[in-house]
Chains A and B, each alone.
Chain A
């Protein structure tokens, strides 16, 4: 089992919701970002604007794990690379070693609070208890491993069930992010990688990232016929006020 993500560049709208969701999920201090968006703009016709969402690639051969003198950066069996902030000594070797620049050091002045000069908000205070951040250590995306672990314990499937899926994937309005098991050939991510010429960023670094990218054009859909679940609005039909009608539809099924 190896958790991975496929990011569809044609769908990313540069809306930044993934970043906001991450800030809520992990009570990130101001100035700390786990995922980022790289704005790519050119004057080549047809390639004017692209947004590349990046986050820790959870590399198979992760240089950050190798260089850590304190063994604070660890790799789990399921491929997730994470930092044990209680062990991290803040030497920042990993920040230099990460070829993708996806690690951030939490320095003291990185956390001025939401409103510098004012009292911390109750959300901030609660966050310090629920999800403490250790000043003077390195942080990065860990694919919301707490969500994955808690979800798996309940028998849920990461990438399919929200409770077991990273927060950024859940919130994305254009569904540009897909999560799942790279080792399972039947998973959504594996299919996307196989069918849509997925690529990793800078494969020449030789780290084998678990984050893949796909791209393409919008349009040219083979058919505009709506699948039955869309026609019946099945996921919201229980909210419909026409209860009799809802019964009829569900009755037919």
Chain B
């Protein structure tokens, strides 16, 4: 008789956190589906469901390895965990003693599960040089909400917990319906649309909902700040702002009014390429049909004007009073388990740590508790060694940072690089030691979702392959060897420590799977109570929501938002645009991949085998490109190959490329095909946001032309594009 059990756990195939039921029969996973008794009511996406193909995946890293050949040569020797951990600990201690603890950097991929360990680990060693993709994803949003409203995490209230759903929703550069990005879940969003009056979509491309939305503002990439300021101007000119809220609870309305007046609708229409009537209609709907929410997508945070863009959008929420009301933007009350992030906050940043943050002098917002990765790459390329030892967990900096070639050259300059990962990717091929990590189906951990009204348990369903271990275990073990006073005897003790405020033990929490604060337990209108400030108000220096930011003024930035052309655009670099006439955006979501992940999962790869670039059929015809052709996308930095997809839902002057692409099936030489199709070959970090350091990754210019058949036969990538049937991994 087969032994069958159902294990309740939590998916982290994206930022999500969907409840999952896993059926395990005699130690083998035989079924996965959503848990109907979870906040996402038993729904799951293709990425989460395909997790089953992480198990027994032959591309998994199964043991610790030490590099024996040159970097990128793919020559490895299997070593024991003890040897690996002892070597890493010795390297950290050596660099720390000789050059200072700040020369040890810890990096991460998108923050899912391990970012609190990354920070604790780094701080416990005495370094604040955490290399995080936060500055191009999510951090600007939470940082600027923090600056303007005093509390850093405002999310859309589309649960109905305050009695109503949002009446007007703006989905701004975001495709929540296919991504559950930043833990604002597709299920909640799509459900709330049943109760919505107006859905406004701001996107350069048609998405699943544009044809059915109330309004689609097809914007030129990189001009979102102008649109937001233009809408603010219309709302003020027409007297539609929320007078009660603005008068009592905001600071700097007059100044904002004057600044917004610099963005009359005709000018905004010219900048953004959006018809003037649509901008006016959007502004009116958003101001009149309240409450409303704006989902801010991370594409906006991959632009050199990201800080001002997001500030303008937050101000748009402010003047319409869409802060802390039911059905608007809200900061959530934590569950009884408190702030799980306290596991690193309890080790405060010292002045010494802060003073050695790279980029901290320049990017005062972005480099407050993490460093600016582009600054480090620049220094490494100059032959400097700001970082000696780099411990990388999960992330593919080679793929997601601007200017791939420079990142690769820079990383070669490090003394010692460790990659903790599930699969062989570009970062692993660059590393000196590679450590195998476990998938979420194979580990015990706590999942802390971004909006923070609940935490969930990952429960181990099956054993990891070979000697793979959870990230928590790996950090704890290295930590124990370097700074034992900050680390724990085992992972369970660490998890107990994280849950101590509830108080609940890991074992108990693991059974319960969720600790949350839902429904009427949440608090609205916190600024009208003593919640943040006695007598009411926002936790800002003025006690108000700062439309005019006194904090930024003190830091030497413009206290009011403004629009700035992208570093390279038809208007900022007209000469360059003659040679590179098309606007290129690279940020769009795919329902099959999460950033650089999952190209090695066959079910998902069948949905999109090659990176596709979308081009309007009219433009394609002019260029002699047909649907399915391989094309070159070229910028002054280099060129990449992607597959053309003729798509009427994109402006003829714009093309969109799939971001973060490498080929896991490609050989180690060439860093797993990272130079073939990754759009960051085309980007650079010459233009950076003054607050956050974010470079222009999603708004640049390029030219497009057809790939000649003989070019695809180049031995560098003939394996990838011209396949013999049967032998190659993705040859179905």
Which residues from A are CB-within-8-Å of B606?
30-31
B207 x A49 contact (CB < 8 A): yes
B347 to chain A, nearest CB (A): 26
A54 within 8 A of B: no
Which residues from A are CB-within-8-Å of B647?
41
Interface segment, one of A62-70, A91-99, A198-206, A233-241: A233-241
B196 x A112 contact (CB < 8 A): no
Expressed in whole angstroms, the Cα–Cα distance for A204 and B454 within the complex equals 52
With A121-B55, A224-B166, A241-B502: A162-B336 Cβ-Cβ less than 8 Å:
no
Which residues from A are CB-within-8-Å of B178?
13-15
Which residues from A are CB-within-8-Å of B163?
225-226, 231
B32 x A47 contact (CB < 8 A): no
B512, B725, B732, most chain A CB atoms within 10 A:
B732
A173 to chain B, nearest CB (A): 4
A41, A162, A174, most chain B CB atoms within 10 A:
A174
Which residues from B are CB-within-8-Å of A1?
none
Which residues from B are CB-within-8-Å of A51?
208
Q: 1/0 per residue B720-732: CB within 8 Å of A?
A: 0000011111011
Interface segment, one of A134-142, A164-172, A180-188: A164-172
Name A206-253 residues within 8 Å CB distance of B. Answer: 216-221, 223-227, 230-242, 245, 249
B211 x A49 contact (CB < 8 A): yes
Interface segment, one of A72-80, A122-130, A150-158, A189-197: A122-130
With A162-B42, A235-B41: A240-B521 Cβ-Cβ less than 8 Å:
yes
Which residues from A are CB-within-8-Å of B34?
170-171
Which residues from B are CB-within-8-Å of A60?
none
B210 x A170 contact (CB < 8 A): no
Contact of B210 among A14, A48, A127, A162 (CB under 8 A): A48
B177, B187, B454, B725, most chain A CB atoms within 10 A:
B177
Interface size class of A (residues with CB under 8 A): 35 or more
A242 x B208 contact (CB < 8 A): no
B519 x A231 contact (CB < 8 A): yes
Interface size class of B (residues with CB under 8 A): 35 or more
B210 x A226 contact (CB < 8 A): no
Binding site for B on A (CB under 8 A): 10-17, 19-21, 23-25, 30-31, 41-43, 46-51, 109, 112, 114-119, 121-123, 125-127, 130, 162, 167, 170-175, 216-221, 223-227, 230-242, 245, 249
List 14 A-B residue pairs with CB atoms under 8 Å apart, sorted by A's residue number. Answer: A13-B208, A21-B49, A41-B647, A48-B210, A49-B208, A116-B727, A116-B732, A121-B57, A175-B191, A218-B212, A221-B197, A225-B164, A227-B160, A236-B37
B517 x A219 contact (CB < 8 A): no
Which residues from B are CB-within-8-Å of A236?
37-39, 514, 516, 518
Which residues from B are CB-within-8-Å of A232?
519-520
Contact of B212 among A24, A217, A242 (CB under 8 A): A217
Known: A239-B518, A240-B517; 12 extra A-B contacts, CB below 8 A, are: A20-B603, A123-B52, A130-B30, A162-B42, A219-B193, A224-B167, A233-B161, A236-B39, A236-B516, A236-B518, A242-B521, A245-B520
B33 x A21 contact (CB < 8 A): yes
Which residues from A are CB-within-8-Å of B617?
43
Expressed in whole angstroms, the Cα–Cα distance for A184 and B483 within the complex equals 68
A118 x B190 contact (CB < 8 A): no
B691 within 8 A of A: no
Which residues from B are CB-within-8-Å of A49?
206-208, 210-211, 649
B337 within 8 A of A: yes
A115 x B214 contact (CB < 8 A): no
Which residues from B are CB-within-8-Å of A241?
335-337, 502, 515-517
Which residues from B are CB-within-8-Å of A109?
725-726
B46 x A19 contact (CB < 8 A): yes
Which residues from B are CB-within-8-Å of A112?
726, 731-732
Contact of B57 among A43, A115, A130 (CB under 8 A): A115
A24 x B649 contact (CB < 8 A): no
Residue in chain A with minimal CB distance to B200 = A219
Which residues from A are CB-within-8-Å of B53?
114, 121, 123
Which residues from B are CB-within-8-Å of A48?
206, 210-211, 648-649
Contact of A219 among B29, B162, B213, B648 (CB under 8 A): B213
B708 to chain A, nearest CB (A): 27
B238 within 8 A of A: no
Residue in chain B with minimal CB distance to A161 = B36
Expressed in whole angstroms, the Cα–Cα distance for A173 and B193 within the complex equals 13
The 8 closest A-B pairs by CB, nearest first: A226-B160, A233-B519, A121-B56, A174-B190, A230-B160, A48-B206, A43-B648, A233-B518
Which residues from A are CB-within-8-Å of B488?
none
Which residues from A are CB-within-8-Å of B36?
162
B727 x A219 contact (CB < 8 A): no
Which residues from B are CB-within-8-Å of A171?
33-34, 42-45, 49
B728 x A116 contact (CB < 8 A): yes
A170 x B55 contact (CB < 8 A): no
A230 x B28 contact (CB < 8 A): no
A15, A46, A118, A234, most chain B CB atoms within 10 A:
A15
Expressed in whole angstroms, the Cα–Cα distance for A234 and B42 within the complex equals 15
A112, A119, A219, most chain B CB atoms within 10 A:
A219
Which residues from B are CB-within-8-Å of A130?
30
Expressed in whole angstroms, the Cα–Cα distance for A239 and B455 within the complex equals 11
Name B6-61 residues within 8 Å CB distance of A. Answer: 25, 28-34, 36-46, 49-50, 52-53, 55-58
B164 x A239 contact (CB < 8 A): no
Which residues from B are CB-within-8-Å of A231?
160-163, 519-520
Expressed in whole angstroms, the Cα–Cα distance for A221 and B592 within the complex equals 31
Which residues from A are CB-within-8-Å of B29?
122-123
B214 x A249 contact (CB < 8 A): no
Expressed in whole angstroms, the Cα–Cα distance for A126 and B34 within the complex equals 21
With A17-B45, A20-B50, A237-B519: A31-B161 Cβ-Cβ less than 8 Å:
no
Expressed in whole angstroms, the Cα–Cα distance for A188 and B225 within the complex equals 44
B536 within 8 A of A: no
B385 within 8 A of A: no
Which residues from A are CB-within-8-Å of B335?
240-241
Expressed in whole angstroms, the Cα–Cα distance for A42 and B617 within the complex equals 10
Name B419-441 residues within 8 Å CB distance of A. Answer: none
B30, B49, B57, most chain A CB atoms within 10 A:
B49
B50, B53, B512, most chain A CB atoms within 10 A:
B53
B276 within 8 A of A: no
Q: 1/0 per residue B531-562: CB within 8 Å of A?
A: 00000000000000000000000000000000
B195 within 8 A of A: yes
Expressed in whole angstroms, the Cα–Cα distance for A174 and B178 within the complex equals 9
Which residues from A are CB-within-8-Å of B517?
240-242
Which residues from A are CB-within-8-Å of B55?
121-123
Expressed in whole angstroms, the Cα–Cα distance for A220 and B285 within the complex equals 12
Which residues from A are CB-within-8-Å of B649?
41, 48-49
Which residues from A are CB-within-8-Å of B209?
13, 218
B121 within 8 A of A: no
Name B615-651 residues within 8 Å CB distance of A. Answer: 617, 647-649
Contact of B177 among A15, A227, A233, A234 (CB under 8 A): A15
Which residues from A are CB-within-8-Å of B156?
none
B443 to chain A, nearest CB (A): 18
Expressed in whole angstroms, the Cα–Cα distance for A240 and B34 within the complex equals 19
Which residues from B are CB-within-8-Å of A13?
177-178, 186, 190, 208-209, 591
Contact of B214 among A121, A217, A233, A242 (CB under 8 A): A217
Which residues from B are CB-within-8-Å of A234?
519
B486 within 8 A of A: no
Expressed in whole angstroms, the Cα–Cα distance for A241 and B732 within the complex equals 48
A174 x B56 contact (CB < 8 A): no
A173 x B211 contact (CB < 8 A): no
A115 x B327 contact (CB < 8 A): no
Name B154-208 residues within 8 Å CB distance of A. Answer: 159-167, 177-178, 180, 185-187, 190-191, 193-199, 206-208
